[in-house]
């Protein structure tokens, strides 16, 4: 394989994939509404969203397996929608891998090479060489004669990846690549996939509903909901500045309280603090992470909180409580409980980094 | 067959209802014995009643040989026709969404629920001397009814559902992902069909073809309407049996019948082998 080296990844990279105003409906159900986004060359882009958000449909549009009703897809400047599936040279890994069940691992990997036109088809020895190289790349040496049914889930996934890489794809598309694996294998493969991407240097788009996976793995994350692109940014950007309450909620655990912004001040019940920059005026929804709070004694400042129960698991503490009358679960980390926290006790809490959205 | 399969493939622990098992078993064996084993035994007993020579003698008659040849010809045309139709229909139903799909599936099943006589009669109504296209065909010297063409048409119609019914649930179950994968890897439509689709359904296809063939060779009702029973010309093996029987040529009738019975037994053996070796690759909802 002549993979390009990825050592120039920090150099200014041109836009590889350009999606403009893609819409797609299945019958009367709109799966995608005017989605536009770009991916840079060699970028690792995650499409993140709950089921029914249209992320898989978008991936299939990129592969050519679905035809959008409207919009444009360009890859390296070329009109991608004008190309049939087989000419796009995208390597796709399906959610359930879709390995050819009647072919061995080696035959599966070689498939994309053996179906080429006579003039472009590599010789037998060359194909065998490439298969051997790919088996080594995905760490499956010695399994070339097995059938898919004789492999574990993780092994199947790696065969699917090797099969997709065999055609030297211009872009790699992964549909829930870890969806069918158990948690342990998933975490191992995640790191490995990222390394593989960096070595192969192929623009990669992957679909997932697991926010941890997307934030952990991708260069940028596109968050979709009901067929619309809600936010696009680096993992840090979307986590630190979620564009909507939906994104805040989807990217992690959320605590929410009603409040009011007046000038530069944020008021929740009897407590008042500085409003975050750019907060909307008037009635708002205040969101904060359950572990981003400061605790103070009952006489101090903050939101009045009654602790109802405490569950400790190693260094993690879950605090079941009522904050200004609203039931909530807070979290704390550390060898000991925050001062003053115990079942039946009252404390005051202050959200450290509240996010404020105009009340619906 | 079905009983044995249930025993092996059944899920969950067995529940024994006290006292009922011997009763049900005895009843089943009795019915099987009286309705299947006994008649089958009689066929072979009658056929060989006067020894092997007497058995082979009627099968060497030109009429009998013609009937065997015609049966093979009819099956050789209608079975491949239905294999192609079955794959095409199953592909259409399992891979595409279109208006009237459930109606199409119902129509595929129609020959099963309709009397075979009707399947023969429709061709007479279309192509018979008094039929819609009858005069035109006569003017152009084309003979369909009372000829091999009519037999093929009737047989094809009767056996239409076998292959399609076997493939539709299997292809729906397998899904289109492997075909989609082949396309993304650069394969064209035909390459995908021959290298991915067909290998995935080959055992189910063979199973459907086997059942289709058994029915095609054994069909009586539909072909008797379009045949006209011209000895040596338009009698297939089942019709030949009837002609001989009506002429009181019992040994000949039973000899010919024993060939059909033998064919049935052979089909059963092959069917069992297929189910045993490839049960995973045959469709789960088999109903024959």
Question: Number of residue pairs across A and B with CB atoms under 8 Å?
Answer: 65
Q: Which of B181, B183, B191, B196 to mutate to test the interface with A (most CBs of A within 10 A)?
A: B181
Nearest to A98 among B177, B186, B187 (CB): B177
B274: Cβ–Cβ under 8 A, 6 or more apart, which residues? B203, B206, B207, B210, B282
Residues in chain A with CB shorter than 8 Å from the CB of B191 are 115
B200 touches chain A (CB under 8 A): yes
Record: contact A102-B200, CB cut-off 8 A = yes
Record: contact B188-A64, CB cut-off 8 A = no
pLDDT in tens, chain A (360 residues): 444 444 444 445 678 899 999 999 998 899 999 999 999 999 999 999 999 899 999 999 999 999 999 999 999 989 999 999 999 999 999 999 999 999 999 999 999 999 998 888 899 999 999 999 999 988 899 999 999 999 998 899 999 999 999 999 999 999 998 877 788 878 888 888 898 888 888 999 999 999 999 999 999 999 999 999 999 999 999 999 999 999 999 998 999 999 999 888 999 988 888 888 888 899 999 999 999 998 888 888 889 899 999 988 888 889 999 998 889 999 988 777 887 888 888 999 999 889 999 987
Query: What is the pTM assigned to this prediction?
Result: 0.81
Record: contact B185-A167, CB cut-off 8 A = yes
User: If contacts are CB pairs under 8 Å, which of residues 167-196 in chain B contact chain A?
Assistant: 177-178, 180-188, 191, 195-196
**The token pair that represents A86 in the structure block:** 């087989």
DSSP 8-state class, residue A48: E
Q: Which of A25, A104, A112 to mutate to test the interface with B (most CBs of B within 10 A)?
A: A112
Helix (H, G, I), strand (E, B) or coil at B106: helix
Nearest to B200 among A87, A89, A101 (CB): A101
Nearest residue on chain B to A63, judged by CA atoms? B184
The nearest CA of chain A is from the CA of B184 a distance in Å of 5
Rounded to whole angstroms, the Cα distance separating A273 from A255 reads: 17
User: Which alpha helices (DSSP H) does chain A contain, by range?
Assistant: 55-63, 85-88, 105-114, 124-137, 153-166, 183-200, 211-217, 235-240, 245-251
A85 touches chain B (CB under 8 A): yes
Rounded to whole angstroms, the Cα distance separating B187 from B183 reads: 5
Record: contact B182-A111, CB cut-off 8 A = yes
ipTM, two decimals, is: 0.83
Rounded to whole angstroms, the Cα distance separating B180 from A94 reads: 9
- Beta-bridge partners for B205: none
Dihedral in degrees, nearest 10, Cα atoms A68, A72, A75, A78: 110
B125 touches chain A (CB under 8 A): no
The nearest CA of chain A is from the CA of B282 a distance in Å of 14
Record: contact B183-A94, CB cut-off 8 A = no
**The token pair that represents B180 in the structure block:** 């989609």
Record: contact B195-A115, CB cut-off 8 A = yes
């Amino acid at each position: 394989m002549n993979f390009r080296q990825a050592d120039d990844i920090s150099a200014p990279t041109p836009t590889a994939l350009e999606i403009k105003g893609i819409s797609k409906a299945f019958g009367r159900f709109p799966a995608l509404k005017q989605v536009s986004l770009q991916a840079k060359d060699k970028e690792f882009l995650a499409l993140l969203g709950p089921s029914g958000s249209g992320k898989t449909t978008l991936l299939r549009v990129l592969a050519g397996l679905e035809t959008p009703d409207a919009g444009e897809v360009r890859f390296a400047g070329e009109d991608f929608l004008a190309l049939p599936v087989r000419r796009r040279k995208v390597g796709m890994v399906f959610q359930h891998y879709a390995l050819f069940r009647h072919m061995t691992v080696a035959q599966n990997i070689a498939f994309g090479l053996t179906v080429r036109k006579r003039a472009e088809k590599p010789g037998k020895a060359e194909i065998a060489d490439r298969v051997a190289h790919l088996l080594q790349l995905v760490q499956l040496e010695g399994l070339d004669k097995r059938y898919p049914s004789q492999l574990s889930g993780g092994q199947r996934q790696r065969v699917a990846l090797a099969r997709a890489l065999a055609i030297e794809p211009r872009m790699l598309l992964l549909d829930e690549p870890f969806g069918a694996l158990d948690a342990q294998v998933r975490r191992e493969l995640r790191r490995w996939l990222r390394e593989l991407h960096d070595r192969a240097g192929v623009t990669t788009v992957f679909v997932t509903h697991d926010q941890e996976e997307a934030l952990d793995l991708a260069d940028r994350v596109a968050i979709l909901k009901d067929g619309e692109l809600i936010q696009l940014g680096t993992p840090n950007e979307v986590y630190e500045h979620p564009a909507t309450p939906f994104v805040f909620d989807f990217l992690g655990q959320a605590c929410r309280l009603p409040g009011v912004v007046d000038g530069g001040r944020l008021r929740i019940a009897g407590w008042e603090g500085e409003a975050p920059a750019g907060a909307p005026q008037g009635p708002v929804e205040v969101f904060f992470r359950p572990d981003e709070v400061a605790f103070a004694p009952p006489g101090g400042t903050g939101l009045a909180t009654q602790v109802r129960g405490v569950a400790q698991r190693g260094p993690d503490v879950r605090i079941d409580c009522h904050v200004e009358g609203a039931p909530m679960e807070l979290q704390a980390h550390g060898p000991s409980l925050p001062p003053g926290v115990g079942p039946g006790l009252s404390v005051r809490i202050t959200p450290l980094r509240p996010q404020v959205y105009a009340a619906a | 067959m079905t009983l044995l399969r249930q025993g092996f493939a059944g899920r969950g622990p067995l529940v024994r209802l006290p006292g009922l098992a011997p009763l049900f078993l005895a009843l089943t064996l009795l019915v099987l014995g009286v309705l299947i084993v006994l008649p089958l035994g009689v066929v072979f007993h009658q056929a060989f009643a006067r020894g092997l020579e007497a058995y082979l003698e009627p099968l060497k008659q030109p009429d009998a040989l013609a009937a065997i040849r015609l049966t093979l010809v009819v099956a050789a045309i209608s079975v491949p026709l239905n294999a192609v139709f079955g794959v095409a229909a199953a592909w259409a139903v399992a891979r595409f969404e279109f208006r009237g799909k459930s109606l199409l599936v119902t129509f595929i099943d129609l020959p099963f629920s309709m009397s075979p006589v009707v399947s023969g009669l429709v061709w007479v109504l279309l192509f018979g001397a008094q039929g819609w296209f009858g005069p035109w065909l006569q003017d152009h010297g084309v003979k369909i009814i009372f000829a091999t063409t009519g037999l093929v048409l009737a047989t094809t119609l009767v056996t239409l559902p076998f292959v399609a019914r076997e493939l539709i649930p299997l292809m729906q179950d397998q899904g289109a992902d492997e075909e989609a994968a082949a396309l993304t890897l650069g394969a064209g439509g035909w390459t995908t069909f021959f290298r991915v689709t067909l290998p995935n359904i080959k055992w189910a296809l063979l199973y459907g073809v086997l059942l289709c063939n058994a029915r095609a060779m054994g069909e009586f009702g539909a072909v008797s309407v379009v045949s006209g029973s011209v000895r040596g010309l338009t009698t297939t093996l089942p019709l030949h049996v009837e002609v001989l029987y009506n002429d009181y040529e019992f040994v000949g009738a039973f000899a010919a019948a024993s060939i059909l019975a033998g064919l049935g037994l052979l089909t059963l053996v092959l069917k069992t082998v297929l189910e045993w070796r490839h049960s995973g690759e045959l469709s789960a909802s088999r109903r024959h």
